Amino acid sequence: MRVFLVEDIQRMRGLLTDLFASMGGFRVVAAASTEAEANLWLEEHKGGWDLAIVDLVLDQGAGMNVIRRCKGDPNGGAIAVFSSYATPGVRQHCIDLGADEVFDKSETERFIAWCGDLSARENSGP
């Protein structure tokens, strides 16, 4: 699965990249730290991702707008929010915008399990 990371903290981007490499079946194809970078990459790579991991608070801009842009790609994949600000209200707003799932960064095990399930479903095919 081709993963697009939208995360402003370089250490977290590195940890997520390592996590996906260790899980197998995932390849990080790009990473962005600002809303503008993310939206530009999405515009230039329509359908070029199977899973977008989006943080909500970025160096510049907001992940909410990136979710909208991801959802606008008819050939895009699943969208997961991975943020320290995943309150119940924020979770619902992200789902309303089109996110498939929302995780607080403290929910790492649930996040990993969800990604594994998503990969298994993709690999089993119709």
**Tens-place pLDDT, residues 73-99:** 999 999 999 999 999 999 999 999 999
Structure-model confidence comparison of residues 124 and 88, the more confident one: 88
Q: Residue 21 is part of which domain span? A: 2-124
pLDDT at 125 over 70: no
Q: How confident is the model at residue 6 (pLDDT cuts 50, 70, 90)?
A: very high
DSSP 107: -
Closest CA to 16 of 80, 70, 76, 95: 80
Domain count of the chain?
Answer: 1
Q: What is the rounded average pLDDT for all residues in the chain? A: 95
Strand order in the sheet with 2-6: 27-32, 2-6, 51-54, 78-83, 101-104
Q: Which residues of 93-124 are buried (b: 16+ CB within 10 A; e: fewer)?
A: bbeebebbbbbbeeeeeebeebbeebbeeeee
For residue 89, the domain's CATH number is 3.40.50.2300
* Residue type at 100 in one-letter notation: D
